[in-house]
Amino acid sequence: MLCLSNRFTPYGKAHMKLPEFFSFNQNNLQDYEDCEFRFLLKHVRQLNWPAVESEPLLLQEKKIEIGYLFHQLVQRFFSGMSPILLTDTIEDPILQEWWGYFLDLNLLEQPGVKFAEKMISVPFNGYRLVAKYDLLILLDNGHIEIYDWKTSISQPHRHFLIDRMQSHVYPALLMLQQSCSSFIARPSPGDISMTYWFPSHPQSPVSFTYSPDQYEKDLQILGNKIKEIVAKEENEFEKTNDVRKCKYCHYRSLCERGIKAGIINEDSNSADGDNPFEFDFNAL
């Protein structure tokens, strides 16, 4: 149990202090982007608030489970286990289908050194920036492919994906890691490409190639964002103006922004409901 003194207020005019072992990552930076106040509650105050995030809860839980199992299968696959043996362990028909699509990618046969579930941490502007890559493929010609598995049922538009903090953090961090002698590769920005691959939409991955311009922009975006966060007083973290987001945030009662959780529309193509970034499997 931790009891702070009465001097402590949940969001007073005290200078914001990040927790001791805090690192910036795509997930907490996206939270800040979506709602500054959520960032404060979740990542600075680390406040457990066990309300429902979105409904139907049972479906959400099923999605998390199947996403977790898919990531585990892929990790086992790249650890050298036989695909036939792994196929025998799958009971869920959706997971079976996804697994089949994944095997069709033939990633093992493709050239290059593969790293699954690779976690990299770099010092950045006085703080640490961390990313966990689902799969990195390092090719002989210096090219690096980043794969990220998105196990949502629906697939968001390309521009939505490209705008996410993950699309800024992941390639930029591969550039930043070169400064250390234990670098995994030394690419130039043009050598990096990133693919969001949806097992439920295997034929339409969203890929982009990085560029020097984009790297410069990303350094600015990330640097400015971190600078802005750490300079803030606690009472300067604003609640989002987009109250639709509060329907899918479990802090809604604390913020007095509604009673019931939003319902995910399975037919929806929008990001409001079935958000592929909603579950951070890297944190599981």
- List of residues contacting another protein (CB under 8 A): 1-8, 10, 19-23, 45-52, 57-58, 69, 72, 75-76, 79-81, 85-86, 88-89, 91, 118-123, 126-128, 130, 176-184, 250, 252-254, 256, 259-261
What minimum distance in Å lies between the beta carbon of 263 and another protein?
Answer: 13
Burial 93-114 (b: 16+ CB within 10 A, else e): ebbeebbeebeeeebeeeeeeb
Q: Which of 178, 99, 121 is nearest to 144 (CA)?
A: 178
33 touches 240 (CB < 8 A): no
Strand partners, 124: 127
Q: Which is nearer to another protein, 119 or 231 (CB)?
A: 119
Whose Cβ is closer to another protein: residue 80's or residue 93's?
Answer: 80
* Tokens describing residue 174: 């591969």
Q: Which of 206, 213, 221 is nearest to 129 (CA)?
A: 221
Kindly give the pairing relationship between strand 113-124 and strand 127-138. antiparallel
Considering the complex, state which of residue 107 and residue 129 has its C-beta at the smaller distance from another protein. Answer: 129
The CB-of-35 to another protein minimum distance in angstroms stands at: 17
Provide the minimum distance between the beta carbon of 28 and another protein in the complex, in angstroms, as a whole number.
14
Look up residue 100 and give its two tokens. Answer: 């089949």
Residue 228 CB, shortest distance to another protein, in Å, is 17
Quote the tokens at residue 234: 């606690």
- Minimum CB distance to another protein smaller for 118 or for 225: 118
Q: Between 220 and 253, name the residue whose CB sits nearer to another protein.
A: 253
Q: From CA 22, how far away is CA 43, in angstroms rounded?
A: 8
Task: Compare residues 50 and 93 and give the one whose CB is closer to another protein.
Answer: 50
Q: Hey, CA dihedral for 7, 10, 14, 20, is it positive or negative?
A: positive
User: 212-231 and 26-34 are packed helices; what angle lies between their axes, rounded to 10 degrees?
Assistant: 70
For residue 55, the minimal CB distance to another protein (Å) is 9
Write phi, then psi, for 115 (nearest 5 degrees).
-125, 120
Give the nearest distance from C-beta 11 to another protein in angstroms. 11
